[in-house]
């Protein structure tokens, strides 16, 4: 069982060895990288990918410099486009674009491709059809699949009957896939009633307020599923404040460090867990390959493992966060 002591034990194991080849990459000048994403405050997964990318580059002996920029609101598409334009002006070689939304990324991708900059799009698996806006690689965890295994967990815990609600994120591909994967499983259990909640923009406070409203409007809820880390944590905090953590199951998405801590403390029930550092390694490896003129697979997709408050996940967590944990301390 996950406990607060076990979580702290994992955090204290930050000295565990990094894995992989340590062959040094030959280069004349430091690789210039821009890391663009939503704010680290929205989800610690953005920060973990960042540190995993850097850890892998260090491990490979790559000389590099990183410009790290973030929009504070996951709906700030114009702000992210302005950041894309700024790093083009600064002459970077490669960009990791944690796009705020799939379609909104197209204007920036066109500009980056026209400038001859190698781009990895993070959090989406579908290459853009516009050839002038296609990135070198798309890296993500399959949002639909994560939603699907979350749905299986929910149906199992409810034993096929009860009432649940879903809180959405930013309108668009990511939120829709995470919700639809979940609902496509739940709909096979006709004795489960479903309430579709509002879009929370992946914002923890908005999810907190939305949950407060849900539990008043639907006092007989058995479970609430949130389609991101922030949404799940907002749900869990609301239920905790209302004294309902033991009565209403709460679910997030991603299995981030903050979610795992919440499970250990007893105010979040479950989350589909991603081997998040693997994706940061994939970003670094793609930049290295591109610097050598090598071709890369256009799509990289990582697996999920469902975890909950009963999961003994020490080894899983330690491996998943093997690069980011030493840098972040959690």
Q: Looking at residue 187, which CATH number applies to its domain?
A: 3.40.50.2300
243 and 190: one domain?
yes
90 and 133: one domain?
yes
CA distances from 246 to 66, 166, 240, 257 (A): 44, 19, 9, 22
137 and 201: one domain?
no
pLDDT confidence bin for 13, thresholds 50/70/90? very low
195 and 295: one domain?
no
pLDDT confidence bin for 25, thresholds 50/70/90? low
Structural domain count of the chain: 2
200 and 257: one domain?
yes
pLDDT at residue 258, rounded to an integer: 87
Query: Which range of residues forms the domain containing residue 113?
Result: 4-141+275-302
**pTM of the shown model:** 0.82
CA distance 239 to 74: 24
Q: What is the pLDDT of residues 43-58, one digit of tens each?
A: 888 999 999 999 999 9
64 and 86: one domain?
yes
Q: What is the pLDDT of residues 123-156, one digit of tens each?
A: 999 999 999 999 999 999 999 999 999 999 999 9
DSSP characters for 65-114? EEEEEEESSTT-HHHHHHHHHHHHHTT-SEEEEE-SSTGGGHHHHHHHHH
pLDDT at residue 17, rounded to an integer: 33
């Amino acid at each position: 069982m996950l406990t607060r002591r076990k979580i702290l034990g994992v955090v204290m194991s930050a000295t565990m060895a990094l894995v992989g080849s340590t062959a040094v990459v030959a280069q004349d000048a430091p690789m210039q990288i821009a890391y663009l994403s939503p704010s680290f405050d929205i989800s610690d997964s953005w920060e973990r990918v960042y540190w995993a990318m850097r850890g892998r580059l260090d491990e490979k002996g790559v000389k590099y410099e990183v410009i790290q920029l973030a929009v504070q609101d996951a709906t700030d598409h114009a702000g992210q486009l302005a950041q894309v334009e700024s790093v083009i002006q600064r002459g970077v070689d490669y960009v990791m674009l944690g796009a705020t939304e799939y379609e909104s990324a197209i204007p920036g991708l066109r500009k980056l491709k026209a400038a001859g900059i190698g781009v990895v799009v993070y959090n989406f698996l579908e290459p853009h059809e516009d050839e002038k806006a296609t990135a070198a690689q798309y890296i993500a965890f399959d949002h639909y699949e994560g939603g699907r295994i979350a749905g299986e967990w929910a149906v199992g815990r409810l034993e096929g009957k009860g009432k649940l609600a879903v809180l959405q994120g930013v309108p668009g591909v990511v939120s829709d896939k995470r919700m639809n994967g979940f609902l496509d499983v739940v709909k096979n259990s006709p004795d489960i009633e479903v309430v579709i909640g509002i879009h929370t923009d992946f914002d923890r406070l908005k999810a907190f307020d939305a949950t407060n409203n849900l539990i008043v409007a639907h006092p007989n809820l058995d479970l609430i599923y949130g389609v991101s880390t922030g949404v799940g944590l907002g749900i869990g905090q609301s239920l905790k404040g209302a004294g309902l953590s033991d009565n209403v199951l709460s679910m997030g998405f991603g299995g981030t460090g903050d979610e795992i801590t919440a499970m250990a403390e007893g105010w979040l029930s479950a989350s589909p867990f991603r081997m998040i550092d693997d994706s940061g390694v994939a970003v670094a490896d793609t930049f290295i390959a591109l610097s050598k003129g090598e071709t890369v697979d256009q799509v990289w997709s990582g697996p999920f493992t469902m975890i909950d408050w009963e999961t003994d996940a020490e080894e899983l967590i330690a491996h998943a966060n093997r690069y980011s944990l030493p840098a972040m301390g959690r």
